[in-house]
Amino acid sequence: MGFDVHGGSMGVRSSQDYVRRAGASAREMLVAAAAARWQVSVAECTAADGVVAHPPSGRMLRYGQLAADAARLMPPKEVTLRDPAAWKIAGRSVQRLDIPDKVLGKPVFGVDVMLPGMLHASIAQCPVFGGKVLSVDAAAAAAKMRGVRKIVREESFVAVVADSWWRADEALRRVAVEWDLGGNGQASNETIADMLREGLADRQLPQARKLGDAPAAMATAAKVVEAEYRSPYLNHATLEPQTCTAWLKPEGFLEVWTSTQNGEASMAAAAEAAGLPLEKVEVHKMMLGGGFGRRGGPQDFVRQGVAIARAMPGIPVKMMWSRAEDMQHGFYRPASMVRLRAGLDAQGNLVAMHTTIACPSILKVLMPGVLSKDGIDFTAVRSFSDMPYAVPNQQVDYAMRNGHVPVGFWRAPGQQNAYYRESFIDELATAVGRDPLEYRLAMLKSGDKNRLVLEAVATAAAWGSPLPVGVHRGVAVADGFGSFTAMVAEVSVRPGGQLRVLRIVVAIDSGHVVNPDTCRAQAESNVVFGLGSILYQENNLKAGRIVESNFHDFRLPRLSEMPRVETVLVPSGGFWGGHGEPAILPLAPAVCNALFAATGKRIRSLPLKHHDLRAAV
């Protein structure tokens, strides 16, 4: 059996083998049950479309009629899986059975959980990460408000429990809490930038990749191109805020209802918070209103919900964060800063590349055991440590610089690096007067999957053909999460600098494709999710606190801003890749490369709202 985690674009690729084997086993058991009932040879029976048939006699039985008999048989020790060429369902677009219920609002999300006698809790955490509660003045105005049942104080948060969430939250606003800021009350965007820049200046960094001798090749290069790129912290901003309903029953059994990407981690966190063995804990996984990694690793909201329930034994309590609490207490996409140097020969070919990456480590925060022995976080160096381009001399240095802001897995962890790399490759093509597509293809070997998707997207987007006046293209390629993705973006920029992303063409090779319609939906989802981070979104730090508090200052793209997305699936077979994240990897560089084609301005930091996008004069 596999693991109960939904993240890393692992849903299909981590389950396909055991799910297919389970299906093949069930099929054999159903056929065996039918053969036994008819007293015929198994070889004479067939199974298809929910029916086992015996063609010589014309007899047929539905799977449901055979299920009880089949369940009494021993599963086969070995089964033969169908060759992909013989697949009847995988590879075809099929309707998802959950969509009608979702349209009608039937699924129960974590925020929808209702239990008899349930109370509600609103929570306040220290505004500065890592801080603790020093004192709490409940005051009569809060403690005696209508519906308030209890004020819960824990080391890192204060919560009010009431008979409705609105009353709990209103009372919480009247609770005076003194916080120990833990020495981080002066942290700001500037101190974070200084921390990262110090990392770039460090000359004793571990190397995530060393191929050839990049410094020596750089010293003899005909031309050296340098650039520095950066990106901000980013919240997941899930539409459903963090929530957890917990019920500590009198018999010492704990039930938890929560929106989670990792049921096993939620159960472990709940058991630890309650001080109970796992066998006395049950976790109900609810529909989740957005995960994107936030509900996968950290289980802070589960621990908090259980801690509040412990203060109210025998009563189910639903804890829900306010939108501001959710925006200002996330596990953010790491802020990062990257310095790039490239050496070109007399013909403009890339012969050396030296990359220095400074950013916090997600693995250090959430999975320290996965760090390499020399402290390399593979999510922080991806796209450079595994760069597909045939460059004889490469060096990638990593400066782990973790501030007090907690970081976590944000959709396609490390995807900023694809933005940096593919934008810089465009810079090199421009520096030597080469077509950006041809420049990339020249560095990719025949048969390389990156080359396959680049050629596919170029054909689909008609790269090189004339465009309407005012429309410009950009291209990028990236691989990750088991798949290979290339993208062409078409944009226009009005004289006043207003950008419009008009069209996105994306080609993906995931090896095999199960449901093409779902894969296309995932590509579209990646585009709209990623556009927000390109155009508007950032989380700023002032006095140790996250500034943004809601969607008025952490803007989501509007429907009118969504480009047309054309997805080209080019499965080459032989492997299983993901679709939940790969299409976000080339999005920012494709858009920014198109923006350069339109304006002559190279964008080296996001979001775009900070840049004057009027064409260079």
Mean pLDDT, range 296-325, rounded to an integer:
97
What is the β-pairing status of strands 564-569 and 499-509? parallel
Residue type at 531 in one-letter notation: L
514 phi, psi to nearest 5 deg: -90, -60
Q: Residue 565 and residue 589: Cα distance in Å, rounded?
A: 16
Given a cut of 60, whether residue 2 has pLDDT beyond it is: no
Confidence band (pLDDT; 50, 70, 90) for 10? confident
Can you tell me whether residue 426 is helix, strand or coil?
helix
Q: What is the pLDDT of residue 386?
A: 96
Q: How far is CA 463 from CA 438, 453, 470, 473, 564, in A?
A: 10, 13, 16, 8, 17
> For residue 300, what are the contacts with CB-CB under 8 A and spacing of at least 6?
242
Q: What is the pLDDT of residue 1?
A: 46
- At 447-465, the pLDDT tens digits run 999 999 999 999 999 999 9
- At 230-249, the pLDDT tens digits run 999 999 999 999 999 999 99
Closest CA to 321 of 180, 147, 160, 174: 160
Closest CA to 304 of 274, 328, 326: 274
* DSSP structural state of residue 314: T
* DSSP structural state of residue 563: P
- At 84-110, the pLDDT tens digits run 999 988 999 998 889 999 999 999 999
46 phi, psi to nearest 5 deg: -130, 155
- At 488-497, the pLDDT tens digits run 999 999 999 9
Distance, first Cα to last Cα, the chain: 61
Mean pLDDT, range 177-202, rounded to an integer:
96
Q: What is the pLDDT of residue 483?
A: 97
Confidence band (pLDDT; 50, 70, 90) for 8? confident
Q: What is the pLDDT of residue 143?
A: 79
Say if CB 318 and CB 113 are below 8 A apart. Answer: yes
- At 107-136, the pLDDT tens digits run 999 999 999 999 999 999 999 999 999 999
**SS3 sequence of 81-100:** CCCHHHCCCCCCCCCCCCHH
Q: Name the more confident of 2 and 81.
A: 81
Q: Residue 596 and residue 57: Cα distance in Å, rounded?
A: 71
Q: What is the pLDDT of residue 375?
A: 93
* Residue 248: burial class (beta carbons within 10 Å; 0-12, 13-18, 19+): buried
Say if CB 240 and CB 259 are below 8 A apart. Answer: yes
- At 24-39, the pLDDT tens digits run 999 999 999 999 999 9
Q: Residue 135 and residue 153: Cα distance in Å, rounded?
A: 9
Neighbours of 313 (CB within 10 A): 11
Q: Residue 131 and residue 302: Cα distance in Å, rounded?
A: 19
223 phi, psi to nearest 5 deg: -150, 140
Given a cut of 60, whether residue 605 has pLDDT beyond it is: yes
Counting residues of the chain whose pLDDT is more than 90, the rounded percentage is 93
* DSSP structural state of residue 404: S
Mean pLDDT, range 391-403, rounded to an integer:
97
Q: What is the pLDDT of residue 139?
A: 66
Per the prediction, the chain carries an average pLDDT of: 95
Say if CB 429 and CB 389 are below 8 A apart. Answer: no
Token pair 């980013």: residue: 234
Confidence band (pLDDT; 50, 70, 90) for 140? low
Q: What is the pLDDT of residue 142?
A: 80
Q: What is the pLDDT of residue 244?
A: 98
* DSSP structural state of residue 335: P
Say if CB 233 and CB 405 are below 8 A apart. Answer: yes
Cis omega (within 30 of 0) for bond into 557: no
568 phi, psi to nearest 5 deg: -110, 115
- At 232-291, the pLDDT tens digits run 999 999 999 999 999 999 999 999 999 999 999 999 999 999 999 999 999 999 999 999
> What pTM, to 2 d.p., does this model score?
0.95
What is the DSSP annotation of 93-125? ----TTHHHHHTT-S-BGGG---TT-EEEEEEE
Q: What is the pLDDT of residue 3?
A: 59
Paired strand residues for 343: 224, 352
What is the β-pairing status of strands 541-542 and 51-54? unpaired
Q: Residue 409 and residue 7: Cα distance in Å, rounded?
A: 9
Take residue 323 and report the two structure tokens written for it: 């939108």
Paired strand residues for 487: 476, 506
Token pair 């009027």: residue: 614
Whats the size of the chain, residue-wise?
617
Q: Kindly list the structural domains of the chain, giving each domain's residue range(s) and its CATH number in brackets, ordered by start.
A: 11-81 (no CATH), 110-181+237-328 (3.30.365.10), 202-233+333-610 (3.30.365.10)
Q: Residue 509 and residue 578: Cα distance in Å, rounded?
A: 9
Q: Which helix (H) or strand (E) holds 568?
A: strand 564-569
The b/e string for 208-230 (b: 16+ C-beta within 10 A; e otherwise) is bbeeeebeebbeebeeebebebb
Paired strand residues for 177: 136
Confidence band (pLDDT; 50, 70, 90) for 5? confident
- At 337-384, the pLDDT tens digits run 999 999 999 999 999 999 999 999 999 999 999 999 999 999 999 999
Cα torsion at 244, 248, 254, 260 (round to 10°)? 0
The b/e string for 43-56 (b: 16+ C-beta within 10 A; e otherwise) is eebebeeeebbbee
Can you tell me whether residue 73 is helix, strand or coil?
coil
